[in-house]
Amino acid sequence: KDFRNNVKPNWCPGCGDFSVQAAIQKAAANVGLEPEEVAIITGIGCSGRLSGYVNSYGVHSIHGRSLPLAQGVKMANKDLTVIASGGDGDGFAIGMGHTIHALRRNMDMTYIVMDNQIYGLTKGQTSPSSAKGFVTKSTPKGNIEQNVAPLELAISSGATFVAQSFSSDIKELTNIIEEAINHKGFSFVNVFSPCVTYNKVNTYDWFKENLIKLADIEDYDASNKSQAMQTVLEKESMLTGIIYQDKETPSYESQIEQFDEQPLVKKSLKLEKNQFEDLVSQFK
Ligand code: SF4
């Protein structure tokens, strides 16, 4: 169960993405998966390189489109554990439409956003999760837009598993990814993953000072949606832990009869004569 390969990541030294990669590899091994049972589909951005750094099936897809591709992979082969991943720009800007629909659709897969509140690959522009007032080359007088709030967005879009973590807390992050993989539905995990090269505001020290562990909040019940939303609003999305989990809502594919059978990729493409005639008659 070794999810390591011999490709050396070309992330900057100290980038938060290293720990996210390690947590995914550890979590997949801990839940008993084999490399050939996992597919990692990534978008574009520094974090998008992840699919090439893990010993599993992997597709480094196109900008903002990791989710449609990942959902297609799951539809074609339900036996695979599918993990989609990308950055905040990938998932909350160009890919935002796909993110919202995947959240409400509830296919059984995991989506990990490596949220560094900046565009790293293109050398440091303001991203959808950058805070108001954030100064970069693209907003030299400070960002005048309100930032996206990933946890509020996920809960209000109908997600059945919503969690947040910090790349530096590898123990918590690994546990959360294990829970996300085991959840029977769409699991959304937002991970604060500092960009040490271009984001000099949201640093490791800044997160350590500002993050609040859900485990420290007394009587928190992750199955209570209104408590989850209320807590997220009060704490301004700076929480880490499993924020919300709904174990009752069925996954998308569990409601489709044909999904009980063998995966589509294992079905024969050969048609019997009467099946062929039926098919042709539909086009007459
Ligand atoms: Fe990581 Fe930022 Fe370097 Fe990209 S530019 S690899 S996000 S530290």
Q: What is the pLDDT of residue 96?
A: 98
Q: Is the CB of 89 under 6 A from ligand 1?
A: no
| 119 DSSP β-pair partners | 125
Q: How far is the CA of 78 from the centre of ligand 1 (A)?
A: 33
Amino acid 218: pLDDT? 92
pLDDT of 276: 79
- The sheet carrying 212-213 orders its strands as 57-60, 38-42, 81-87, 109-115, 186-192, 161-166, 239-245, 212-213
Interface ipTM: 0.99
Q: What is the pLDDT along the chain (284 residues), one digit of tens a residue?
A: 799 999 999 999 999 999 999 999 999 999 999 999 999 999 999 999 999 999 999 999 999 999 999 999 999 999 999 999 999 999 999 999 999 999 999 999 999 999 999 999 999 999 999 999 999 999 999 999 999 999 999 999 999 999 999 999 999 999 999 999 999 999 999 999 999 999 999 999 999 999 999 999 999 999 999 999 999 999 888 999 999 999 999 999 999 987 888 888 888 877 778 887 887 888 87
Ligand 1, residue 16: give the atom nearest the CA: 1
3-state helix, strand, coil in the chain (%, to 5): 40, 15, 45
Cα–ligand 1 centroid distance for 236 (angstroms)? 25
According to the model, what pLDDT value does residue 264 have?
Answer: 86
Taking the centre of ligand 1 as the mean of its atom positions, its distance from the CA of residue 218, in whole angstroms, is 36
Element at 59 (helix H, strand E): strand 57-60
Whether this model's pTM surpasses 0.90: yes
CATH of the domain spanning 17-281: 3.40.50.970
Which atom, in ligand 1's list, is nearest to the CA of 114?
7
Residue with CA at minimum distance from ligand 1 atom 5: 120
Evaluate: CB of 119 within 6 angstroms of ligand 1. no
DSSP 72-108: HHHHH-TTSEEEEEEEHHIIIIITHHHHHHHHHH--S
280 CA to centre of ligand 1 in angstroms:
53
Nearest Cα residue to 150 out of 187, 180, 112, 190: 190
pLDDT at 131: 96
| Ligand 1 centroid, distance to 111 Cα (angstroms) | 20
Question: Would strands 57-60 and 239-245 be described as parallel, antiparallel, or unpaired?
Answer: unpaired
Distance 120 CA to ligand 1 centre (A): 5
| Ligand 1 close to Cβ of residue 172 (< 6 A) | no
Cα–Cα distance list, 220 to 29, 102, 226, 236 (Å) = 29, 26, 11, 16
